[in-house]
Amino acid sequence: MQKHFIEIDGARMSYVDQGQGFPVLLGHSYLWSAEMWRPQVETLSQHFRVIVPELWGHGDSEAPPATTQSMSDLARQHLVLLDALDIDRCHLVGLSVGGMWGAELAAEHPQRIDRLVLMDTYLGAEPPATRLKYFALLDAASTAGGFSDALLDIIVPIFFHAGGQTVAQVREQFRLDLKACSAETIRQSLYPLGQIIFGRPDRLARLAELAGQRTIVICGDQDIPRPPEESGEMSRIIGCLAAQVPNAGHICSLENPQVVNDFLLNWLPRKG
């Protein structure tokens, strides 16, 4: 996937822009990159123009600019990208943090989003127990200047089906990518973004502003950090459909890409 670059708030953001047709914006998970959406880009770009921005400090994007202090800031920065690409309206598919800033963008600028797919995400505050756990993991990685094998043994399984039998190569590559993270990337990008993501305020009430008939909430049926109960809670607030991806954890786009691809092709109209 070819990368393009744009300067936003004084920092360089990388993004994929592939295919032609009505635009689909894909927001990826924390600790991942545009590669997380490769199966979807390859399939959707045959029918849509697919744009995949990379979160600050992820993929080929630079460290977050000083203006990045909240999920609302991330939403605004992605709106800047849409404006720069002359995209007045698009579908938005956001997984994990991509859904957090995606829902903010859709609530703030409903005229810009046609269909909204919130995947493996949650707009409530992070539960106290997991927030403290994630902050401790970030502190350990930042202090050490790297992800040790002991930390990776904890972090990597969080993102996948608990059975541990799916997509072995994807799991191993994810582990290698984290292992290769520099101290600079961890301290200047992953740590501050993690503070924003896991320290986020409760924004569940915001979901009531979304158009229920144009929104759907999806999660892997084995998602560990964002269990199906959270998706059910959000769908009730929005008044929209909820669905589960079978045999998949948090990164369902890679654990069960065929189901995800088929769903998106069927649910996203090819014209806005």
Query: 32 lies in a domain?
Result: yes
Q: Which of 38-47, 165-174, 232-241 has the lowest mean pLDDT?
A: 165-174
- 212-238: average pLDDT: 97
Q: What is the pLDDT of residues 89-126, one digit of tens each?
A: 999 999 999 999 999 999 999 999 999 999 999 999 99
Mean pLDDT of 262-269: 97
Domain containing 14 — which CATH number?
3.40.50.1820
Tell me, what's the pLDDT at 271? 83
* Structural domain includes residue 161: no
137 CB neighbour count, 10 Å cutoff: 17
Q: How would you list the strands of the sheet with 215-220, edge to edge?
A: 3-8, 11-18, 49-53, 23-27, 90-95, 113-119, 215-220, 241-245
Q: What is the mean pLDDT of residues 28-53?
A: 98
State the helix-helix crossing angle for 191-198 and 128-144, rounded to 10 degrees. 170
Q: Is the pLDDT of residue 245 over 90?
A: yes
Mean pLDDT score, 27-35: 98
Cβ pair 92, 22 in contact under 8 A: no
Percent of the chain residues topping a pLDDT of 90: 97
Q: What is the average pLDDT value for the chain, to the nearest integer? A: 97
For residue 90, the enclosing domain spans 3-126+200-267
63 domain-assigned:
yes
Phi-psi region at 127: left, alpha or beta (left = phi > 0; alpha = psi -120 to 50): beta
pLDDT band with cut points at 50, 70 and 90 for residue 39: very high
Distance (Å, rounded) from C-alpha 34 to C-alpha 27?
Answer: 8
User: What local confidence, expressed as pLDDT, does residue 163 receive?
Assistant: 84
Residue 105 lies in a domain: yes
Mean pLDDT of the region 241-251: 96
Structure-token pair, residue 36: 């997380």
Residue 156 lies inside a defined structural domain of this protein: no
Reported confidence tier of residue 272, pLDDT bands at 50, 70, 90: low
What is the count of structural domains for the chain?
Answer: 1
Element (H, E) at 215: strand 215-220
Q: Return the H-helix or E-strand segment holding 44.
A: helix 38-44
> For 147-179, what is each residue's pLDDT tens digit?
999 999 999 999 999 887 889 999 999 999 999
- Asked whether residue 7 is domain-assigned, the answer is yes
